[in-house]
Amino acid sequence: GAVVSQHPSWVICKSGTSVKIECRSLDFQATTMFWYRQFPKQSLMLMATSNEGSKATYEQGVEKDKFLINHASLTLSTLTVTSAHPEDSSFYICSALRLAVIYEQYFGPGTRLTVT
Amino acid sequence: SQQGEEDPQALSIQEGENATMNCSYKTSINNLQWYRQNSGRGLVHLILIRSNEREKHSGRLRVTLDTSKKSSSLLITASRAADTASYFCATDARETSGSRLTFGEGTQLTVNP
């Protein structure tokens, strides 16, 4: 089956620092990946669509200069949270789009970010 | 903004009972999907139902879709303690491109042994 990995699975950082989260499709190529954020006991909110070889498309209200997305290859997208603040603490989940009969999203296991 | 609304927000049942969760949405869709999420973990895809389908089964899962009412239900039969998780519906809206999904608020299911 299609497998998507995320690294790291959890990270603790200090306010003001930057954190990079990787999302990899392990056994398929993905021209499109998505980044979601999930606060405790809440649903997933789409942050941005990551397109290989082009700029990411951000959802309304998501600061593109704060959440840098790079989709440099067909199997890797990275999300960098710049100048992190405690309110950025959240569960970040990526997904990769794979074309089968229809396009299906395969989700990574998530990254827990805690900013102190 | 989230277009999916789910009810109930929380559901607690005994093992062996059936669990029904509902999802409503606002726009025309290509398909609707149901996911499960164990606490602090990633999403597990359960089932996808297309806009031209009305009912779909997968093991103990039964999903219905009523596009006229813009609603869907997920039925888990003969529930088990291991079914305890959050369940989310997600819609692939027809007017958006690129298969973007919009998630509902979720239902927290607790199955008591």
Q: What is the mean pLDDT of chain A?
A: 93
Q: Contact, A73 vs A59, CB < 8 A?
A: no
Q: What angle do CA A22, B96, B74 make, to 5 degrees?
A: 80
* pLDDT at A26 exceeding the cut of 90: yes
* pLDDT at A79 exceeding the cut of 90: yes
Residues of B within 8 A of A109 (CB-CB) are 41-42
Partner residue facing B42 (CB), from A34, A43, A93: A93
Q: What would the two tokens of residue B29 be?
A: 């869709």
Residues 37-66 of chain A whose Cβ lies under 8 A from any Cβ of chain B: 41-46, 49
Model pLDDT for residues A96-116, shown as the tens digit of each residue? 998 776 778 899 999 999 999
pLDDT tens digits, chain B, 113 residues: what are they? 334 677 888 999 999 999 999 999 998 999 999 999 998 888 999 999 999 999 999 999 999 999 999 999 999 999 999 999 999 999 988 766 667 899 999 999 999 99
φ, ψ at B29 (rounded to 5°): -125, 155
Model pLDDT for residues A31-77, shown as the tens digit of each residue? 899 999 999 889 999 999 998 888 999 999 999 999 999 998 999 99
Q: Which of A105, A111, A112, A114 is the best residue to mutate to test the B interface, defined by the most B CB atoms within 10 Å of its own CB? A: A105
* pLDDT at A2 exceeding the cut of 90: no
Give the strand order in the sheet containing B61-66. Answer: B5-7, B19-24, B71-76, B61-66, B55-58
Q: What is the pLDDT of residue B100?
A: 85
Q: What would the two tokens of residue B103 be?
A: 């998630």
Query: With an 8 Å Cβ cutoff, is A7 touching chain B?
Result: no
Q: What is the pLDDT of residue B22?
A: 95
Q: Would you call B58 exposed, middle or buried from its count of C-beta atoms within 10 A (0-12, 13-18, 19+)?
A: exposed
Q: What is the pLDDT of residue A43?
A: 92
Q: What is the pLDDT of residue B1?
A: 31
Q: What is the pLDDT of residue B93?
A: 82
Q: What would the two tokens of residue B91 be?
A: 């819609």
- Chain A residue whose CA is closest to B41: A109
For the beta carbon of residue B8, count every other beta carbon within 10 angstroms.
Answer: 13
